Amino acid sequence: EIEKAVEEIREQLRLKTYVRTVVIGDDWGPAVVGVMRPVLLLPESLVGDHINVVRPVIAHELSHIRRMDTLWGMFQFAAQVIWWFHPAVWLMSRRTTDVCERCCDADVLERLGFTPSTYAASLVRVMQLRQRASVVPVLGQMSAQGITAQRLQDLQRYQPSRAIVASMRWGMAALLAVMVIP
């Protein structure tokens, strides 16, 4: 059922890349790893939930693949390594990660047609999982604090069409700042 959902959402997002799905222990996730051969990691307890709870989470993670966020995360990580001493780099890195997540949120709502309430319920479920998991942030990706009340409030105030454009502007501004400020 999970594999079928991944395939359907991958087709809706027009992803040409095959995405392997791996069910892991509840130590961390959900997440996407890999650039050339992406792997979707789903926690075991999340997979045990009803498919309607899991589908928006899968959509969010596949949106990261569509947007090539793992690749951009590598550049972000490289900037942090090179300019480790510069506080603006760390600040912009956090802001870029936040904007990246919000862009994926908008993508899930705008492109895939999930309702804000359904998507918010899935985010709350992931937040519950992460409270008891030891999260390993990878390449500037989200930490346990990544799903915030602000994102849920954004879903409450969601208005179609404007969300993606606004998120893309902030994302590009943050990425440009991470590259230029140092």
pLDDT tens-digit series, residues 89-105: 888 888 888 888 888 99
**Residue 74 · residue 61 · CB < 8 Å:** no
Could you give the 3-state DSSP secondary structure of residue 61?
A: helix
Could you give the 3-state DSSP secondary structure of residue 8?
A: helix
Q: Does residue 147 carry a pLDDT above 70? A: no
pTM strictly above 0.85: no
Instruction: Report the Cα–Cα distance between both ends of the chain, in Å, rounded.
Output: 47
Distance CA 169, CA 78 (A): 22
Extract the tokens encoding 24: 């892991």
Among 68, 169, 137, 35, residue whose Cα is nearest residue 177:
169
Distance CA 146, CA 135 (A): 11
Distance CA 51, CA 39 (A): 19
Q: Which pLDDT belongs to residue 136?
A: 47
Q: Does residue 167 carry a pLDDT above 70? A: no
More confident residue, 165 or 38: 38
